[in-house]
Amino acid sequence: MIELTELIYQMDSYVREFDAVVEEVRGKMVVLNKTAFNPRSGGLPPDTGYIIKASREYRVVDVEIDKESMNIVHVIDSEHDLSPGDTVHGVIDWSKRYRVMRLHTAAHILSAIMYLRHGALITGGNIYEEYAYDDYSLESFDLNIFKEAISEANEVVKKGIDVKIYWLSREEALRIPGIIKLASKMPPSVATLRIVEIPGVDIQADGGPHVRNTQEIGEIVFVKAENKGRKRKRLYYSLRP
């Protein structure tokens, strides 16, 4: 039985290259014993990059979580000669990953402000390389609410707060106000939760990559807002390059 993929990106989101061993191959889908590639999950896009065997490079165009095994599957865009037992080198498209990391941490700050100021919860959202959007459970649509939230978030960014990553047992995590709703959606089999904390601002159970310090985010920029229906007020935002 194949052991679960070691998730390098959860321990260190700044790892750009890594060595690994091929565990399983199913056509163009490849499972490694460890990976720094972040999969498509929780509104985050998958990393892209390369898996290199000797002098041959294979383009990774998608990364998914296998729902049965919960392993990370790397999807190659062409035929390949990868086989179980092969030693390979993984390389992530860093410019894309780093921008997503910045937007991801910005999303946590904005969601914390929206909850604190307006009791609004996120009801949907996605992060892309160039921009992100979140849907909030607001009853009424008011453009100023979003613009004020972004202004306040940028003040938090400027403070240069270190982002903390640590693990807690499920029982401990569920006692923390502010992450109960999210954490309770985790499968019962998940005994230990990865916690992302921006001290004094936000704390959430979260599995994705983040920046180490809020200053790395740069400036959050308001793009537009839309009324998508009851309790679905959508905020689009981006970052200064």
Q: Which residues contact 174 (CB under 8 A, 6 or more apart)?
A: 180, 183, 184
Read off the pLDDT of residues 185-210 as tens digits, 9 standing for 90 and up.
Answer: 555 567 888 999 999 999 988 999 99
Q: How far apart are the first and last CA of the chain?
A: 45
* Residue corresponding to tokens 């993984």: 90
For range 169-194, the mean pLDDT:
70
Class of the CATH domain delimited by 97-239 = alpha beta
* 64-121 tens-digit pLDDT: 999 888 999 999 999 999 999 999 999 999 999 999 999 999 999 999 999 999 999 8
Confidence (pLDDT) at 104: 97
Residue 173 has pLDDT above 90, yes or no: no
Reply yes or no on whether the pLDDT at 159 is more than 90. Answer: yes
Q: For position 212, what pLDDT does the model report?
A: 98
Structure confidence at residue 185 (pLDDT): 56
Domain boundaries, the chain: 6-92, 97-239
The answer on pLDDT for 182 being more than 50 is no
Residues ≥6 apart with Cβ < 8 Å to 192? 167, 168, 169, 170
The answer to whether the 6-92 and 97-239 domains have the same CATH topology is no
Q: Report how far residue 101's alpha carbon sits from residue 190's, in angstroms, rounded to the nearest whole number.
A: 24
6-92: CATH number? 2.40.30.130
Question: To the nearest whole percent, how much of the chain has pLDDT over 90?
Answer: 82
Q: What percent of the chain stands above pLDDT 70?
A: 94
What the block records as the tokens of 112 is: 């914390």
